Amino acid sequence: MNRNDRRVLIVTIITGVLILLGIFLLGEDISGPGESSNSRTPRNSRYTRHSRNPEMSYAVPVRQPETFYFDPNTADSTQLLRLGLQSWQVRNIYKYRARGGVYRKKEDFARLYGLTVKDYRRLEPYIRISEDYLPAVTLVRKRGGENKDDRNYSVYSNYSENKKRDSVRYPVKLREGEHLVLNTADTSLLRQVPGIGSYYAKEIVRYGKWLGGYVSVDQLDEIDHFPKESKKYFVITHANPRKLNVNKLSIQQLRRHPYINFYQAKAITDYRRLHGDIKSLNDLRFSSDFTEADIRRLIPYVEY
């Protein structure tokens, strides 16, 4: 074999080796017939499995929480999930019930691990505990079986205290078109409003006293997380709020009102000291501590 033949043979062998090597290295990236490029398996799954590449992720639809009447002692997992609870919270409820745990009153449900104050306030008006799970003493009370001696026992005394504190355990809710007068309704009446439970009933009364009386139903929005769908059941009639005499009250007295902060109270007293009595809230419009909105909402609550 002469030199030229040897060269041809060597080139042929090298070319064949390169072709085989290329097929071996690139063969994994060649898709078969009918196979899309998106279905290829990455060579190193250790890294792509944890990749943050948006193309490798997928969106999980977010279910909007629903509200409906439920008994935490009997509600199934589907109902609990519809209420907005997490799957692990539902499992905890099932475990609690499996161990013999019973929700005897609404407040017991607030102990659910991971339940936020906001979620409890949203769900509390819709919790309905079946009589089967109430303390047996309530049945004795209904049948008139309690005697005077029984009242010495703590179980009866506790029930009596709870009864006085919460005279309407399951209030009948208002229907569409029915209304309550906001400034005169007590907590028992307020709990008849759909979406209003014990917490919001107390907050409505508390904030009304702090204001000195409501002059608009929209003031309910100033209560944290107040359910807006409940506002349509309220009306204001003959609003007569408690007045603040801005020419006589001290800084400490003025700032007790929710619409006046310390700096605004100081601006009022400073104006009186420098210019005399305030004739109108327009006198405060040039103060940097008062906005137009501040003055408008204060007008019903001041006198001179």
Q: How far is CA 247 from CA 76, 181, 269, in A?
A: 61, 32, 8
How many whole angstroms separate alpha carbon 266 and alpha carbon 254? 9
Rg (CA), the chain: 36
Q: Is residue 160 part of a domain?
A: no
* pLDDT value for 212: 95
Can you count the helices (H) and strands (E) in the chain? 13, 4
CB 197 within 8 A of CB 121: yes
Structure tokens, 16: 């064949």
81 and 129 part of one domain: yes
**Can you tell me which residue has the tokens 């003055």?**
295
* pLDDT value for 104: 83
Give the up-direction half-sphere exposure of residue 24: CA atoms within 13 A in the CB hemisphere. 6
Structure tokens, 196: 């209003």
Structure tokens, 126: 């819709």
Q: Is residue 43 part of a domain?
A: no
How many whole angstroms separate alpha carbon 302 and alpha carbon 304? 7
Q: Is residue 30 part of a domain?
A: no
CB 235 within 8 A of CB 180: yes
Structure tokens, 20: 């085989």
Tally the domains of the chain.
3
Give the chain's residues under pLDDT 70. 1-3, 26-62, 134-171
Q: What pairs with residue 130 in β-bridges?
A: none
* pLDDT value for 242: 94
Of 109, 133, 157, the last residue of a domain is 133
Q: Is residue 106 part of a domain?
A: yes
Residues spanned by the domain of 198: 180-235
184 and 220 part of one domain: yes
Structure tokens, 69: 């009447």
The 10 Å Cβ neighbour count of residue 224 is 11
Residues 6+ away with beta carbon under 8 Å from 299: 281
Q: Is residue 211 part of a domain?
A: yes
SS3 83: coil
Q: Is residue 166 part of a domain?
A: no
Of 67, 98, 133, the last residue of a domain is 133
231 and 268 part of one domain: no
Which H helix or E strand runs over 256? none
Q: Is residue 42 part of a domain?
A: no
The 10 Å Cβ neighbour count of residue 105 is 15
Q: Is residue 190 part of a domain?
A: yes
Give the up-direction half-sphere exposure of residue 110: CA atoms within 13 A in the CB hemisphere. 11
How many whole angstroms separate alpha carbon 214 and alpha carbon 220? 9
CB 298 within 8 A of CB 255: no
**Can you tell me which residue has the tokens 């006293």?**
209
Structure tokens, 75: 């509600």
* Residue 84 Rama label (left phi>0; alpha psi -120 to 50; beta): left
* pLDDT value for 26: 66
257 and 228 part of one domain: no
**Any idea how long the chain is?**
304
